[in-house]
Structure 1
Amino acid sequence: MNFPHLVSLAAYLASHGVLCLRFTCKGLNIVHRTKAFKTVVEYLRHSDDYKLSGVFLAGRSMGSRAAASVIRHLGQEDDDDSFIQGLICLSYPLHRPKLQSKLQDEDLLLIKCPVLFVSGAADEMCEKQLLEGVASQMKAPKKIHWIDKANHGMAVKGRTADDVMEEINVQVFTWLRENTELENK
């Protein structure tokens, strides 16, 4: 939850009028994370305190896998899956380092809502050619933004972390505006 990229993105989006809810799930297990994410989504969907017409789910690394899993499962359970309007994947872990033969793409292939991937072009857990191949098989509208020379942690030799985060933030906000009815803010 307090990962610098997520803090920066939430602050940037909030400064542009987009409400963000950040939460953490301490367990590393994908099943546990998915259950936690699903609980938050269901709370927001049915809350009397918040009258939301829809949300975008986002996550970084395993958080983006959990978000994809939630979207897939909620979409299968409910014919009206319009509450979740899109998915933002920062550093999606498509495969384990040096184990490109076993892709973690099953949820991505069944998602119907728009998806934005922001990945490092040198990410050891998301080889560029493999993600582009998976994206070409997806039914959902998708966009991939590659951060040149970035690794899985989005570190780029010769660039400051703030500079990289600014690029990520602008890409996410631009994509959100393209995929929602946000006013020009």
Structure 2
Amino acid sequence: MSGQAEVKVKIPFGNKYLDAIFSVPEKKSTYGVILTHGAGGDMNFPHLVSLAAYLASHGVLCLRFTCKGLNIAYRTKAFKTVVEYLKLSDDYKLLGVFLAGRSMGSRAAASVIRQLSQDDDDDFIQGLVCLSYPLHRPKLQSKLRDEDLLFIRCPVLFVSGSADEMCEKQLLEDVASKMKAPKKIHWIDKANHGLAVKGRTTDDVMEEINAQVFSWLRENIELEHK
């Protein structure tokens, strides 16, 4: 894709480093997105690569990172470290960022936003993008992972499959109706938790997701600066 560069970085995290990649737009960006993967895989998961490239080619800086580990507290701590890293970066001076994640990564992002909003009144974080938010375990609809969502005040976008076995449509709509934050849900028709749809190519589904995420980001950045 034209109009962007990829810059690999290692972000200090405790006594280790997190591997990360900046997708940098041609023109200086004032807003960014921090993006991470689900329970499996890493930052090179095709959906993340596609979204990062799309955002950068439309003028939004994207920093995606890998954090292995299935412990949500650990993943949240890593995400918080990446937020601080970008906030203090001399190379990329941003007015604000949106946190985004796929599946477990979106849970970690929600948890970071809740923690940071309790710590201070910082408005660096502008919003949350949840790709396939895992609202419950498969067939365990009685235990919802909604506590962080109910605390968040910044705008939230959910992109989920209408046939996601970890996010029953009606349950997410019920949770959204209780949220204090401005929120939007975009349902990918007949998609499962991996956002795969029978009869549609991955690229076709990603085009829909990328366009939705970008238009939502643009609306929220414009609202902020009217």
> Under TM normalisation by the shorter chain, which class is it?
over 0.9
CA shift, 1:42, in A, is: 1.2
Query: Matches of 2:168 and 2:215 in 1, distance apart?
Result: 24
Q: How many residues align?
A: 181
> When the two structures are superposed, what TM-score results if normalisation uses the length of structure 1?
0.95
Q: Secondary structure at the match of 1:162?
A: helix
- The code of the aligned residue for 1:110 comes to F
Mapped to 2, the partners of 1:137 and 1:181 lie a distance apart of: 25
1:35 aligns with 2:77: yes
Structure 1 runs, 4 residues or longer, greater than 3 Å off:
none
Instruction: Say if 2:221 is the partner of 1:174.
Output: no
- 2:103 maps to 1:61: yes
Unpaired runs of at least 5, structure 1: none
Percent of aligned positions that are identical: 88
Which residue of structure 2 lines up, in the alignment, with residue 22 of structure 1? 64
> Is 1:148 paired with 2:189?
yes
Q: Counting helix residues as a fraction of each chain, which structure ranks higher?
A: 1
SS at match of 1:88: strand
CA distance in 2, matches of 1:12, 1:48: 24
Higher relative contact order, chain-length normalized (CA < 8 Å, sep 6+): 1
Measured after TM superposition, the shift of residue 50 of structure 1 is 2.7
Gaps of 5+ in 2: 1-42
Q: CA RMSD in A?
A: 1.1
Q: Please name the residue that 2:13 is paired with.
A: none
> TM (normalized to structure 2)?
0.78
Quote how far apart the aligned CAs of 1:49 are: 3.3
**2: CA distance between counterparts of 1:128 and 1:15?**
32
- Cα deviation, 1:135-180, whole Å, max 9, x if unaligned, reads 0000000000000000000010011111000000000011011100
- What is aligned with 2:163? 122
